[in-house]
A and B are shown apart, each in its own frame.
Chain A
Amino acid sequence: MMYYILNKTHIVNNELVYEPVGYLTNMDNTLLINYKYETTYLLWVNNNKTDLENGSLQINNYFNSFGTVYDCNTETTEINGMSLSEITDITPYI
């Protein structure tokens, strides 16, 4: 069985932090969450890649303007020990 980790990316004390907040087992729901990730954050990074790479733009700008990012881009066969609960209501993440 495959578990899809719901990752939260946000800024804490001016540092980019990745934080797993739960897991999903419904692949259709992961696609919905990742669709939002790809059409917002990923698109913004790709559109601003040059400025991000040369340091004229900071990644914090995105989070300061648009807030927290969620994705389901980590998949694993075992979640024991990760202290994660299953998420079935994805409304807050899409």
Chain B
Amino acid sequence: MALTKGNFTSDVRIPAASSYSFSHNQNTGSNGCLIVIVACPAVSTTGVSYGGQAMTNVRNNSTSYSTGWSVWRLLNPPTGANTVLVTLNTASFNSTSAVCYSFTDCSGVGNTNFNNTQASNQTTSVTISNNSMVIGACIGGNSTSAFIEIPDNTLRTVDWNHNINNFTWGGISPSLSAGSITIQGGATATNIIIAVEVTEVVTVNSTNGWFLIMN
């Protein structure tokens, strides 16, 4: 089966504590996967759980915008509506962004790349496997006319655009062919960018036949 993007949830709020939660609905289907990206000014994310299950940290970067930026994934998450619990290293009084992408027939997160240099219409490159999707996300000084291209010169829908002292926005591609791709994001100010490969589960074709077992 092909990698399929399912439900999407975005949330932005002032935690006013060291943890907060919201709901997200994980699709039913084989080889489920949930990916969460958190952008939290002045603090860092120490954990994310979904339905009580701890998510695996894929990346956790301090950025040139003094914002913690982290990627989390959970294979075979519980399906239906469950709680996303975000835990920070300390109480935060800055607006914090979290976005959730659900998938089926997904093997998880593949390659990622992060360009922490602030520039207009910043780019980053990532090598992907066949049929992978790529999430592209930016943090920038503003989000007027925000865009995301995956690969570059191919605009994708901006799925979220959050004011978090600075701004963060992003989107996702459909399944792409294998190879190295460059993604680009921008607005009317400078920004940084991250690329996250979402990989398709690999199915092994079995062949009917006879086997002789000798012992």
List chain A positions with a Cβ less than 8 A from chain B: 5, 7, 16, 18, 20, 41-42, 45, 49, 52-53, 59, 71, 73-82
Chain B residue contacts of A76, Cβ below 8 A: 7-10, 23-25
Q: Give the docked Cα–Cα distance between A82 and B84 (Å).
A: 13
A-B contact pairs, 19 of them (CB 8 A): A5-B23, A18-B21, A20-B22, A45-B14, A45-B16, A52-B93, A59-B16, A71-B13, A73-B11, A74-B13, A75-B9, A75-B160, A78-B7, A78-B9, A78-B27, A79-B81, A81-B80, A81-B81, A82-B81
Name the CB-closest residue of B to A46. Answer: B93
Q: Determine how close the nearest CB of chain B comes to the CB of A92; give it in whole angstroms.
A: 20
Q: Which of B23, B27, B160 has the most CB atoms of chain A within a 10 A radius of its CB?
A: B23
Please, which residues of chain B bring their CB within 8 A of the CB of A74? 9-11, 13, 22-23
Q: Does B17 touch A at the CB level, under 8 Å? A: yes
Chain A facing B: main interface SS: mixed
Contact among B8, B10, B17, B27 for A16, CB-based, below 8 A = B17
Q: In the bound complex, how far is the Cα of B94 from the Cα of A20, in angstroms? A: 20
Q: How far is the CA of A52 from the CA of B17 in the complex (A)?
A: 10
- CB-CB under 8 A from A45, the residues of chain B are 14, 16, 93
Tell me the residues in window 6-60 of chain B with beta carbons closer than 8 Å to chain A beta carbons. Answer: 7-14, 16-17, 20-25, 27
Give the chain A neighbours of B20 by CB distance below 8 A. 18
Are A73 and B23 CB-contacts (below 8 A) given A49-B93, A78-B7? Answer: no
Interchain CA distance A47-B11 in the complex, whole Å: 23
Question: A77 to B22, Cβ gap below 8 A?
Answer: no
- Bound Cα distance from A30 to B109, whole angstroms: 33
